[in-house]
């Protein structure tokens, strides 16, 4: 397994370089350093000399290949440099300030969603073929047709304004953060309930039709024990596959949630950078996102081997 992980890490290097190259080329196709300078300089009508000084300060006056090598090397060494915006704040400083709110929301949403959705899928599968199964499946289809934004609006109105259980937005550090992130977590769990529950139900029903389930029933094992112990264990592999998509969000945050609830996380930081055309910040966030995604896929493969002894990592 160690050898497999080392090979995957080595394979990740050219992928990350490709991501950096794609981001670099896309930047020069959509804008130019001169446009960035005019946008971020404090002067309303900067002179050509001021623009040249800004380009020199941020390294945009170098040949493009040198810019790419310099920035890519910095990304791999986690030296993200300074923001292209006014003030030139160090990117790593802002990331250190913003990662905790994103991680709190994403990790609690991830754990709560996994427990709620998997439990619901097991219960629906237990009553398969009944009216309860049909009603639950219909409800999931209806919930899947509702846009994510509507869940946010309804959550803010009912829990925030009408019932006044949680604040509508904002964030405070420490233990007070739990009061502010409760509503975003509830919205995230409810919004993702239908699709994940239906998917897990499908995985579980596929396992129920396997021969080992018939053998367990023939031995007199109760249906609930077969479902919640034997079937759940063997359905772990597809469940692990589905949960890997949530791993980048644990570190990068949710753009929609953080923006609408005014939470100073990495997702909100990325939105501000895109709006301000802050290429340095966007480049750093894209690199971190690609890196975390690759790590997530490696963890998924390792999870396969741990969940199913038949899986071998060659």
- 246 lies in some domain: yes
Residue 305 has pLDDT above 80, yes or no: no
CATH code of 101's domain: 1.10.3720.10
- 250 lies in some domain: yes
- pLDDT for the residue numbered 274: 84
- 296 lies in some domain: no
* Contacts of residue 59, Cβ cutoff 8 Å, sequence gap at least 6: 67, 70, 71
Q: Reduced to 3 states, what is the DSSP secondary structure of residue 19?
A: helix
Closest by CA to 37, choosing from 24, 49, 26, is 49
What are 274-290's pLDDT values in tens digits? 888 888 888 998 898 88
- 229 lies in some domain: yes
- Cβ atoms of 281 and 83 within 8 Å: the answer is yes
> In the chain, how many H helices and how many E strands?
16, 0
User: Of all helices (H) and strands (E), which one includes residue 23?
Assistant: helix 2-30
- 309 lies in some domain: no
Tokens of 234: 């063997």
- 200 lies in some domain: yes
- 3 lies in some domain: no
Residue 311: pLDDT band (50, 70, 90) is low
Residue 82 phi/psi, 5-degree rounding, is -110, 155
Question: Range with the lowest mean pLDDT among 15-19, 74-78, 171-175, 251-255?
Answer: 251-255
Residue 17 has pLDDT above 90, yes or no: yes
- 303 lies in some domain: no
Q: Reduced to 3 states, what is the DSSP secondary structure of residue 90?
A: strand
Residue 219's CB is within 10 A of a number of other CB atoms, namely 8
Average pLDDT, the chain: 83
Domain of residue 161: give its range.
97-266
Number of structural domains in the chain: 1
Residue 313 has pLDDT above 60, yes or no: no
- pLDDT for the residue numbered 222: 81
* Contacts of residue 52, Cβ cutoff 8 Å, sequence gap at least 6: 61
- Cβ atoms of 128 and 181 within 8 Å: the answer is no
């Amino acid at each position: 397994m160690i050898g497999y992980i080392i090979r995957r890490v080595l394979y990740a290097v050219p992928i990350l370089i490709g991501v950096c190259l794609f981001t670099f080329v896309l930047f020069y196709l959509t804008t130019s350093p001169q446009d960035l300078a005019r946008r971020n300089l404090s002067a309303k009508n900067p002179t050509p000399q001021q623009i040249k000084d800004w380009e020199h300060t941020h390294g945009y006056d170098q040949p493009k290949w040198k810019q790419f090598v310099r920035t890519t090397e910095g990304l791999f060494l986690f030296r993200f440099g300074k923001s292209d915006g006014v003030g030139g704040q160090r990117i790593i400083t802002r990331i250190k300030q913003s990662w905790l709110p994103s991680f709190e929301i994403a990790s609690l949403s991830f754990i709560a969603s996994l427990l709620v959705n998997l439990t619901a899928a097991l219960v629906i599968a237990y009553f398969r073929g009944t009216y309860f199964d049909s009603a639950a499946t219909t409800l999931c289809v209806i919930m899947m047709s509702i846009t994510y934004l509507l869940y946010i609006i309804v959550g803010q109105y009912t829990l925030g304004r009408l019932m006044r259980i949680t604040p509508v937005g904002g964030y405070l550090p420490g233990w007070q953060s739990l009061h502010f992130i409760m509503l975003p977590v509830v919205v995230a769990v409810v919004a993702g309930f239908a699709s994940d529950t239906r998917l897990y139900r499908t995985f579980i029903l596929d396992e129920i039709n396997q021969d080992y389930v018939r053998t367990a029933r023939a031995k007199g094992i109760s249906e609930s024990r077969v479902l919640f112990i034997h079937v759940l264990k063997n359905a772990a592999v597809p469940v692990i596959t589905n949960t890997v998509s949530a791993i980048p969000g644990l570190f990068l945050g949710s753009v929609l949630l953080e923006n609408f609830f005014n939470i100073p996380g990495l997702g909100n930081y990325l939105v501000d950078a895109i709006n301000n055309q802050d290429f340095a910040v966007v480049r750093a966030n894209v690199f971190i996102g690609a890196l975390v995604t690759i790590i997530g896929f490696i963890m998924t493969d390792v999870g396969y081997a741990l969940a199913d002894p038949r899986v071998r990592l060659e």
